[in-house]
Amino acid sequence: MGGRTLTSDVVISSLDPETTFMDLVGPENLPGHLKDDVSGWELDKWSYTTVHVATNEPPEYNCRDRSVRDSFMTIVGIESTEQLLAHWQAVQSGTIDMDAFGGHTTWQTQFDPHLSRVPGKHVSFFQMHAPYGIAGGWEERRPEIEAAMLEKWRRVAPNMGGDNILMTATETPEDIEIRMPNMRRGSIKHGDYNPLQLGAYRPNQDCSGTDTPIEGLYVCGASTYPGGLVIGGPGYLAANKVADDLGVERWWTPTPEMQRYTETYLD
């Protein structure tokens, strides 16, 4: 690490299996069938692209129901099941259906005004599922897709254009991977949810209890049971396991929800 050697009885990795075991531990150091398990890991089959927008005024939706304005998440552009399926099918095929696409918007400064460095101004975003390897390439298609997303947003929130917009920044699946190298190919959960990568198989049957066949090495993070998204479960389970293995008394107490979950699914 920066030329320094750090020693510890325990290392806990929250990275994807390939980074932890292949890049950091090294395939030559993997006992048993761990190398095969890690090599078979499948990444998420979709990612996200997000247009972030700084504006003078927040989005004003053209909608009689005022609660839409206050929603945490507003679905934009999807009008029917058929359209949703067309959008999803395109993403799975490595492209974006420029008619059918849709996603969700969130006006973040409504919930946390500090997200805007300039008091009184606003930030919001429009996010949608997108393929990592898009036909035509993300760098080439970024302006076209950003413009199409803003246009679709304007259809339901007419003030999301013109002078109201101060700045835009689009994050593509490639940008996600650059920001978080462990989110390979823009995999926001570090790996697909399929039957062989869930439950006792996440990330594989040797490591789903957060300890690994390598002494002192533990795993947590989105690729470890119970999985990805902002749930905190893998880190919580790893902390418990490490404390137990080291004989350290836990100084934290589970929330009632966690207690119920543990009794129902883990004990």
Ligand X SMILES: Cc1cc2nc3c(=O)[nH]c(=O)nc-3n(C[C@H](O)[C@H](O)[C@H](O)COP(=O)(O)OP(=O)(O)OC[C@H]3O[C@@H](n4cnc5c(N)ncnc54)[C@H](O)[C@@H]3O)c2cc1C
Interacting residue ranges for ligand X, rule: CB under 6 A? 14-15, 19, 48, 50, 176, 180-183, 188-189, 221-222, 228-230
Smallest separation, CB 32 to ligand X (Å): 24
Closest CB to ligand X among residues 48, 261? 48
Closer to ligand X by Cβ: residue 60 or 177: 177
- Decide whether 77 or 159 has the Cβ nearer to ligand X: 77
Q: Which is nearer to ligand X, 164 or 211 (CB)?
A: 211
Q: Which of 155, 167, 142 is nearest to 53 (CA)?
A: 167
Composition of the chain by helix, strand, coil, percent to 5: 40, 15, 45
- 3 state DSSP class of 79: coil
User: Whose Cβ is closer to ligand X: residue 101's or residue 159's?
Assistant: 101
Of all helices (H) and strands (E), which one includes residue 217? strand 217-219
Distance between CA 234 and CA 232 in Å, rounded?
A: 6
Q: At closest approach, how far in Å is the CB of 150 from ligand X? A: 18
Minimum distance between the CB of residue 240 and ligand X, rounded to whole angstroms? Answer: 16
Q: How far is the CB of 163 from ligand X (least distance, A)?
A: 28
Strands 122-130 and 165-171: unpaired
Nearer to ligand X among residue 61 and residue 236 (C-beta): 236
Query: Residue 165: in which H helix or E strand, if any?
Result: strand 165-171
Q: Is residue 116 within 8 Å of residue 166, measured between CB atoms?
A: no
Q: How many CB atoms lie within 10 A of CB 160?
A: 27
CB of 151 to ligand X, least distance (A): 21
Residues 6+ apart with CB under 8 A from 231: none
CB of 50 to ligand X, least distance (A): 5
Alpha helices (runs of H) in 117-227, residue ranges in sequence order? 138-156, 173-179
Which has the closest alpha carbon to 50: 138, 173, 187, 136?
A: 173
